[in-house]
Amino acid sequence: MSKTIKLRKGFDINLIGKADNKIAEVSQPETFALKPEDYKGLQRPKLLINEGDTVKAGTPIFHDKNNDQIMYCSPVSGKITGIKRGEKRVIQEIQILADKEISYEKFEKFSVSELKNQSREQLQSQMLKSGAWVNIIQRPYGVIANQDETPKSIFVSGFDSHPLAPDYGIIFKGQENYLQAGFNVLKKFTDGFVHFNLRGNAEIPSVFSQIKNVELNKVAGKHPAGNIGVQIHHIDPINKGDVVWTLNPWGVILIGKLFLEGKYDTSKIVALAGSEVSNPQYYKTYAGASIHPLIENNINSDNVRYISGNVLTGNKIESKGYMGYYDHLITVIPEGDKHEFLGWILPTIKKLSFHRAFGLLAKTSKEFNVTTNTNGEPRAFVQTGTFEKVTPMDIYPTHLLKAIIAEDFDDMEGLGIYEVIEEDLALCEFIDVSKHDIQSIVREGLDLIQYS
């Protein structure tokens, strides 16, 4: 039963520098990296390669010491040029210098009709060893799915409502067959539905228009309408004990390709956007790409922040850093490390705010140039009722956060910790008058519940 959902709560952040609708190639060779910290739920990676080894796309690089079934594989073929470690020898990056022509590990190949007759076990083992499995994220906790579980349903969000988000109609163009094959594969993993959620009040991208064998739902509204957690909450909410799997369409396509082509192909189209980019546009590359070739001679000013992902949930990276495995966006915005005289009270039409407190006169519908300045100092919770306005779920964010801070397990469960991950409350963190680190509080709560 397909559903149509209209969300009234939420907030769209409009930023300057949306990517233009054109796709550029990046000159090869370039370096790529696998970052263990991208993978939520991964505890202690055990390396399977050494520096100097040559690998193919799909060669296992490491696996979790607690789970040797799920392989984390190289996104490209090439040579391992460096293993960067941090404090206590924690592995931060495994760097790979890519070949000019990418060569692939060979996996079993199926035709569309053969694929229909495969059992879950056969499909699963190929997904685990090829590296494709890490695209399946499990709720609750937002961690990589446990291969021994059967989810009650599987969710895929067909649009991204984050600030400057890439247009899925562009980045997945022409991948219909792989997407359909991926969905057919996923269907074997659940007794319930595979939900595919599209934007309600917009034209459906051609790549999504012919998809079958899924439950098509429509979700209309402001951000976070595109967040999978919000969609699950309204379509088939997670209760205690439930397991739901979620994927990005990119992951579904990757799984489809794995079976139709017999290769682990991490090629993706990413958007480079933000107010400091001279030519915001799309680029064709692979997962874990170095952003350096993209931003070289393409940035307006010196003091900027590079973000892998969007401005709400992304991570800061260096100018020679690498994109996160799951990201399709690089955002470049100005750093805000400047003092401003009486900036806390002067009326302004240039600053973006969800609130309408004295002097914040800007219309939120126009596009803004926002810096990384915190615009204020951390304080205790004071303002009430605002988090609810940007959280289109039947959840009390403040109470949930306080329960986490107090480590009250019963309250966390009762108030819906199983239904959220960081990104679902990211807008609360943005609008918070008291400048709390809400996303890290949410993760703390999830870790508490999951590991104790």
Partner 1 sequence: MKFLRDALDKTKSHFEKGKKFEKFYYIFESIDTLMFTPKETTHAKGVQIRDAVDMKRMMMTVIIAMIPCLLFGIWNVGQQHFIALGQQAEFLDIILIGAMKVVPIIAVSYIVGLGIEFTFSVFRQHPINEGFLVTGMLIPLVLPATIPLWQVALATAFAVIIGKEAFGGTGMNILNVALTARAFLYFAYPSQISGEVWTFIGDNAQAVAGFSGATPLALGADAVANGTNMMTSMSSFGEGWYDNIYSFSNMFFGFMPGSIGETSTLMCLIGAFILIATGVGSWKIIFSVFAGAYGMGLILNGFGANPFMDMPAHYHLVIGGLAFGAVFMASDPVTAAQTETGKWIYGFGIGMLTVVIRVLNPAYPEGIMLAILFFNVFAPLIDFYVVKANKKRRLQRATV
Least distance to partner 1, CB of residue 337, Å: 5
Least distance to partner 1, CB of residue 354, Å: 6
Angle between helices 176-187 and 249-261 (to 10 degrees): 90
The position carrying tokens 């993993």 is 189
Nearest to 162 by CA among 231, 230, 219, 224: 224
Kindly indicate which of the ranges 42-50, 67-75, 95-103, 341-349 contains the residues binding partner 1, using the contact rule CB under 8 A. Answer: 341-349
Least distance to partner 1, CB of residue 320, Å: 15
Spatial CB neighbours of 103, under 8 Å, sequence gap ≥ 6: 56, 57, 77
For position 164 contacting partner 1 by CB under 8 A, the verdict is no
Cα–Cα distances (Å) from 269 to 102, 171, 293, 299, 338, in that order, read 16, 5, 14, 20, 34
Cα–Cα distances (Å) from 444 to 160, 228, 329, 447, 451, in that order, read 25, 20, 26, 5, 10
Least distance to partner 1, CB of residue 352, Å: 6
Kindly indicate which of the ranges 24-32, 149-157, 173-181, 364-372 contains the residues binding partner 1, using the contact rule CB under 8 A. Answer: 364-372
Spatial CB neighbours of 77, under 8 Å, sequence gap ≥ 6: 54, 55, 56, 57, 59, 98, 99, 102, 103, 104
Instruction: Indicate the residue among 297 and 365 with the shorter CB distance to partner 1.
Output: 365
Least distance to partner 1, CB of residue 87, Å: 15
Instruction: Indicate the residue among 9 and 187 with the shorter CB distance to partner 1.
Output: 9
| H or E, element range at 412 | helix 409-414
Least distance to partner 1, CB of residue 370, Å: 5
Nearest to 326 by CA among 409, 400, 433, 423: 423
Residue 394: Cβ within 10 Å count: 11
Cα–Cα distances (Å) from 107 to 62, 64, 264, 286, 367, in that order, read 18, 22, 8, 19, 46
For position 92 contacting partner 1 by CB under 8 A, the verdict is no
Strands (E), 181-249: 194-199, 215-220, 244-247
Site for partner 1 in 365-424 (CB under 8 A): 370-386, 388, 394-396, 398-399, 414-416
Rounded distance between C-alpha atoms, residue 112 and residue 259, angstroms: 9
Site for partner 1 in 218-277 (CB under 8 A): 237, 239-241
Spell out, one character per residue from 280 to 319, where the chain touches partner 1: x when CB under 8 A holds, - when not: -------------------------x-x---xxxxxx---
Least distance to partner 1, CB of residue 422, Å: 8
Kindly indicate which of the ranges 170-178, 215-223, 256-264, 349-357 contains the residues binding partner 1, using the contact rule CB under 8 A. Answer: 349-357
| H or E, element range at 235 | helix 228-235
Instruction: Indicate the residue among 188 and 399 with the shorter CB distance to partner 1.
Output: 399
For position 354 contacting partner 1 by CB under 8 A, the verdict is yes
For position 93 contacting partner 1 by CB under 8 A, the verdict is no
Least distance to partner 1, CB of residue 92, Å: 13
Instruction: Indicate the residue among 59 and 439 with the shorter CB distance to partner 1.
Output: 439
Site for partner 1 in 432-451 (CB under 8 A): 432-435, 437-440
Kindly indicate which of the ranges 44-52, 58-66, 150-158, 343-351 contains the residues binding partner 1, using the contact rule CB under 8 A. Answer: 343-351
Biggest CA pair distance of the chain: 69
One of 23, 170, 216, 431 touching partner 1 (CB under 8 A): 431
Instruction: Indicate the residue among 104 and 326 with the shorter CB distance to partner 1.
Output: 326
Question: Which SS3 state, helix, strand or coil, does residue 191 take?
Answer: coil
Q: ∠418-2-250 over CA atoms, to 5°?
A: 65
One of 335, 408, 444, 447 touching partner 1 (CB under 8 A): 335
Least distance to partner 1, CB of residue 346, Å: 10
Least distance to partner 1, CB of residue 323, Å: 15
One of 351, 391, 401, 420 touching partner 1 (CB under 8 A): 351
Contact 235, 197 (CB under 8 A): yes
Q: Which residues pair with 143 in a beta bridge?
A: 138
Instruction: Indicate the residue among 51 and 394 with the shorter CB distance to partner 1.
Output: 394
Rounded distance between C-alpha atoms, residue 112 and residue 233, angstroms: 33
Least distance to partner 1, CB of residue 141, Å: 17
Contact 156, 249 (CB under 8 A): yes
Kindly indicate which of the ranges 20-28, 150-158, 255-263, 430-438 contains the residues binding partner 1, using the contact rule CB under 8 A. Answer: 430-438
Instruction: Indicate the residue among 52 and 385 with the shorter CB distance to partner 1.
Output: 385
Bond from prior residue into 140 cis (ω within 30 degrees of 0) = yes
Site for partner 1 in 1-40 (CB under 8 A): 13
